[in-house]
Chain A
Amino acid sequence: MTTQIQYPFDQGFIESFSSQNGEPNWFKERRIDAFTKMDQIPMPKPDKTKITNWNFIEFKQHSVNSAPFSNVEELPESLRRLIDLEGGIKNLYIQHNQTAGFLSLTDELKDQGVIFTDLITAVKNHGELVEKYFMTKGVKPDEHRLAAFHAALVNGGAFLYIPKNVQVTEPIQSIFVHDNGDAPLINHVLIVADENSSVTYVENYISLNDQTTGIANIITEVIALSNSRVRVGAVDTLAKGVTTYVNRRGYTDRDAQIEWALGMMNDGHTISENETNLIGEGSVCDTKTVVIGRGEQIQNFTTEVRHFGKNTEGTILKHGVVKDRATTVFNGIGKIEHGATKSNAQQESRVLMLSEKARGDANPILLIDEDDVLAGHAASVGRVDPIQLYYLMSRGIPREEAERLIIHGFLEPVVSQLPIEGVKKQLIEVIERKVQ
């Protein structure tokens, strides 16, 4: 090994915690395989953001024991608000740092064969499915160092499987709570929607207090098999002291459809990748992201839809608000591979800057290797339109309130997509707080 980097862990360490978890051999071997490759593969290189000085790798300890949050009644108020308590808790998983807590899945879904459980349990009890789909079709462990780091050291997450022909009507929700910076949040969610199934999944990453520090390395993989439909909503609200790498990756078979609605509300430095590979003919991806950058925060959001199958359709929409001295970079990539005829790649990125020192960048990229396709992009970086302000104010609305309305409207595309009322409200409140 050409190792110059000193990691706070070694192979023996990985073997031992994997054994402690009771993980099957195949999983342990994948961890070790990823670990041995880690050094040889480079860090990801997000376009227009330099991350060489960011710490994504060093941590004090691999996991901490946290209160398991197994009783919803005892949850802190900030978490209770995310849950639809009135409607009765149906499908919900709560994890506190690395500790799996509350888990519920309706009997109806269990009877239909739906699997929803924490990741380590899934590795043990549903090995066949997890082995087939965990970091095989979505993110590959050797893509870059942070993917390898993830595969080697993943310490939490969830697994969701929807069997063939099952339509899940109630949303399925995960809440990942982070309040201890000693251990990294290396969290993996794997969603497999089998043929002709449909599901809506919502995840929250939340720091319980503003002082939380540490690193987060998050991967969510969505595998949408033929003719399935998966809607994913996410609201990330990790604290200022947390450096985040988050990768949300989709894979579609024939006629499958993935819709992302991502509320990226972290307060710390964040590198986000959201990539969907449209493999099967006629498959569709619609991805919407809203972002607020504030303080000294540096954030980079790369959204990519890659068209492999014929007749595939990808739509990217990103709206970001930047204030204070924050920097937000939007990279939007529509890539149509050779052979993906009649495909359509569309994207729109808009950044609204609220202060002189704020920096925004929107880079639309179309990479097209096929003739018979449609593609389009729109990008803008600007300030609140004075004529829109004038219009609202001419109806008696004070300037601040008018600005607030315009900003909320600007971020509405994702807010309106979130299927859980509490999560929607939370996002609205977070937006409110952050743009003030």
Chain B
Amino acid sequence: MANTTLTIKDLHVAIDGKEILKGVNLEIKSGEFHAVMGPNGTGKSTLASAIMGHPKYEVTKGSVTLDGKDVLEMEVDERARAGLFLAMQYPSEISGVTNSDFLRSAINATRGEGNEIPLMKFIKKMDEKMELLDIDLNMAQRYVNEGFSGGEKKRNEILQLLMLDPKIAILDEIDSGLDIDALKVVAKGINSMRNSEFGCLIITHYQRLLNYITPDYVHVMMQGRIVKSGGPELARRLEAEGYDWIKKELGIEDETVEVEQEA
């Protein structure tokens, strides 16, 4: 049985010379669902982007390994083929490239030359996953994310997750901008991935999503660090009481850190 571990040690990350992450430690194993919560602007997306290799984010210290292999040494595409996946908070639009061509290229890139997915099998899988996610079938022929609504983009990220079947996935604010029905559908998709060979890191700043996907571990991020970890009960307390008690507990004073409620 394949058992995968993503290990993040003392990770420091800067954008344009400004240090955002100041020593993050985290370990995610297959079979585990982790949630990282925290107010806006505390570095959650920075963590996700640095792990995936976003060109703007510079790792200044620390390590990220996948089963002992140095992730930071890998090109972005190698990271993906090694089994990492990131559902992005703001997915790009790729004009002129259909979702279906994009996904087929992605799947075949991982399968390798000579082992391409048979077209019929691909279509069947894609139809199946789109149905599960309540996605209009014509989305396969639309250009990647072009003209998609916020909700459609999020669903499209999850569609890619289901199609690519990674070992470890990071989902960055996959719940933001979704109405309750869409949230349930997205949660259903994510839950369908749950098995002993899949690990997941869910980034969110609401408890809402965690009502549908129960995490095994909850971490709170503030000011570029994970400041508290616990079980699902931690998320519920955050929902009820906000982040102030943690700030007090830790003596954090930062006027930019505040929980906003989304419309």
A interface residues (Cβ-Cβ under 8 A, vs B): 385-388, 390-399, 401-402, 405-406, 408-413
Contacts of B246 in A (CB 8 A): none
Is residue B101 within 8 Å, beta carbon to beta carbon, of the partner chain? yes
Stretch at the interface among B25-33, B47-55, B203-211: B47-55
Interface residues in B107-146 (C-beta closer than 8 Å to A): 107, 109-110, 143
Stretch at the interface among B58-66, B76-84, B183-191, B214-222: B76-84
Question: Which of A390, A395, A413 has a CB less than 8 Å from the CB of B106?
Answer: A395
Q: Is the CB of B55 within 8 A of A411?
A: no
Contacts of A396 in B (CB 8 A): 77, 80-81, 106-107, 109-110, 164
- CB-CB under 8 A for A395 and B160, given A386-B55, A401-B105, A409-B143: yes
Chain B proximity of A380: nearest CB distance (Å): 13
Q: Is the CB of B97 within 8 A of A406?
A: yes
Query: When chains A and B are docked, how far (Å) is the Cα of A394 from the Cα of B77?
Result: 5
Q: Is the CB of B105 within 8 A of A399?
A: no
Stretch at the interface among B1-9, B87-95, B236-244: B87-95
Nearest to A400 among chain B residues (CB) is B77
Query: When chains A and B are docked, how far (Å) is the Cα of A408 from the Cα of B95?
Result: 9
Nearest to B95 among chain A residues (CB) is A409
Question: Which of B55, B102, B110 has a CB less than 8 Å from the CB of A405?
Answer: B102
Q: Is the CB of A392 within 8 A of B102?
A: yes
Chain A proximity of B160: nearest CB distance (Å): 6
Contacts of B53 in A (CB 8 A): 390, 394
Q: Is the CB of B77 within 8 A of A398?
A: yes
Is residue B75 within 8 Å, beta carbon to beta carbon, of the partner chain? yes
Q: Can you sample 22 A-B contacts with CB below 8 Å? A: A390-B53, A390-B55, A390-B76, A391-B88, A391-B94, A392-B92, A393-B80, A394-B53, A394-B86, A394-B88, A395-B103, A395-B106, A396-B80, A396-B106, A399-B77, A402-B77, A405-B101, A405-B105, A408-B96, A409-B94, A412-B95, A412-B97
Contacts A392-B102, A399-B75, A402-B77 aside, 6 further interface pairs with beta carbons under 8 A come to A390-B76, A390-B92, A396-B81, A396-B164, A401-B109, A406-B97
Nearest to A410 among chain B residues (CB) is B96
Q: Is the CB of A388 within 8 A of B80?
A: no
Chain B proximity of A393: nearest CB distance (Å): 4
Contacts of B96 in A (CB 8 A): 408-413
- CB-CB under 8 A for A405 and B97, given A391-B91, A394-B86: yes
Query: When chains A and B are docked, how far (Å) is the Cα of A347 from the Cα of B81?
Result: 40
Chain B proximity of A308: nearest CB distance (Å): 33
10 closest A-B pairs by CB: A409-B96, A412-B96, A395-B106, A396-B80, A391-B92, A409-B97, A393-B76, A393-B77, A396-B109, A396-B110
Chain A proximity of B138: nearest CB distance (Å): 15
B interface residues (Cβ-Cβ under 8 A, vs A): 52-55, 75-77, 79-81, 85-86, 88, 91-97, 101-103, 105-107, 109-110, 143, 160, 164
Chain B proximity of A383: nearest CB distance (Å): 13
Contacts of B93 in A (CB 8 A): 388
Nearest to B82 among chain A residues (CB) is A396
Contacts of B80 in A (CB 8 A): 393-397
Judged by DSSP, the binding face of A is helix
Query: When chains A and B are docked, how far (Å) is the Cα of A398 from the Cα of B109?
Result: 7
Query: When chains A and B are docked, how far (Å) is the Cα of A402 from the Cα of B94?
Result: 10
Chain A proximity of B54: nearest CB distance (Å): 6
Contacts of B86 in A (CB 8 A): 394
Q: Is the CB of B160 within 8 A of A405?
A: no
Among A396, A399, A402, residue most surrounded by chain B Cβ atoms (within 10 Å): A396
Q: Is the CB of B97 within 8 A of A397?
A: no
Q: Is the CB of A395 within 8 A of B75?
A: no
Query: When chains A and B are docked, how far (Å) is the Cα of A97 from the Cα of B75?
Result: 51
Q: Is the CB of B54 within 8 A of A390?
A: yes
Query: When chains A and B are docked, how far (Å) is the Cα of A411 from the Cα of B143?
Result: 13
Contacts of B52 in A (CB 8 A): 390, 394
Question: Which of B76, B97, B110 has a CB less than 8 Å from the CB of A394?
Answer: B76
Q: Is the CB of B92 within 8 A of A397?
A: no
Query: When chains A and B are docked, how far (Å) is the Cα of A402 from the Cα of B107?
Result: 13
Chain B proximity of A385: nearest CB distance (Å): 8
Chain A proximity of B80: nearest CB distance (Å): 4
Query: When chains A and B are docked, how far (Å) is the Cα of A393 from the Cα of B143?
Result: 17
Contacts of A412 in B (CB 8 A): 95-97, 143
Among B85, B101, B106, residue most surrounded by chain A Cβ atoms (within 10 Å): B106
Question: Which of A398, A399, A405, A411 has a CB less than 8 Å from the CB of B94?
Answer: A405
Contacts of A386 in B (CB 8 A): 55
Contacts of B102 in A (CB 8 A): 392, 395, 405
Chain B proximity of A349: nearest CB distance (Å): 15
Among A385, A392, A398, A405, residue most surrounded by chain B Cβ atoms (within 10 Å): A392
Query: When chains A and B are docked, how far (Å) is the Cα of A259 from the Cα of B143?
Result: 22
Query: When chains A and B are docked, how far (Å) is the Cα of A71 from the Cα of B222?
Result: 76
Contacts of A392 in B (CB 8 A): 92, 94, 102, 105-106
Chain A proximity of B228: nearest CB distance (Å): 29
- CB-CB under 8 A for A393 and B105, given A386-B55, A405-B97, A409-B94: no
Nearest to B87 among chain A residues (CB) is A394
Contacts of A411 in B (CB 8 A): 96
Contacts of A388 in B (CB 8 A): 92-94
Chain B proximity of A418: nearest CB distance (Å): 14
Chain B proximity of A405: nearest CB distance (Å): 5
Contacts of B160 in A (CB 8 A): 395
Query: When chains A and B are docked, how far (Å) is the Cα of A414 from the Cα of B54?
Result: 32
